[in-house]
Amino acid sequence: CKTTIASDLDVFTTRIQSTIPFKRTEDCNYASLVDQKWFEENLTNHFEVRKMSQVPVVLNWEINANLSSLVMETNSSHSTCRFANGSSLLGNMSTTFTCTCNSSFEGNPYLVDGCQGTLLAFY
């Protein structure tokens, strides 16, 4: 089976068990988070996921503006953080705070030294 996940999901945990007492679950013993758009464009049958060693997942982060001072402590010259008023990912009206690594940096802008420079090589 497949389903969408809630936009305000904090934790993802799976538990696989049979709904029929004493029935084994060998044929249905996997679970994965998969980007919905990729799933719809690349798979004709959801059982194909079992054969794959990896699948793409997109996680969008949004921080309540009340917690911005905690993030600002980790902010560096390698990242940019912005406030945004309006509808949040959770669907409610709020002020949120998002950060991104600056150009030529990658990583997690919410961590101390989380944005690292990318190495450019010229020959």
Q: What is the mean pLDDT of residues 64-81?
A: 69
Q: What percent of the chain has pLDDT over 90?
A: 1
Q: What is the mean pLDDT of residues 46-75?
A: 71
- Which pLDDT value is given to residue 75? 56
Domain ranges of the chain: 1-59, 63-111
Q: What is the mean pLDDT of residues 113-122?
A: 74
| 37-44: Cβ within 8 A, 24+ apart | 39/2
Residue 64 neighbours by CB under 8 Å, 6+ apart: 94, 95, 96, 97
> Cα(106)–Cα(114) distance, rounded to whole angstroms?
8
Please determine, for residue 24, whether its predicted confidence score (pLDDT) is greater than 80.
no
106 contacts 93 by C-beta, under 8 angstroms: no
- Which pLDDT value is given to residue 88? 47
- Which pLDDT value is given to residue 12? 74
Tokens 């990729």 correspond to: 38
Confidence band, pLDDT 50/70/90 cuts, at residue 21: confident
pLDDT digits (tens, 9 = 90+) for 89-115: 445 555 677 788 888 899 888 887 888
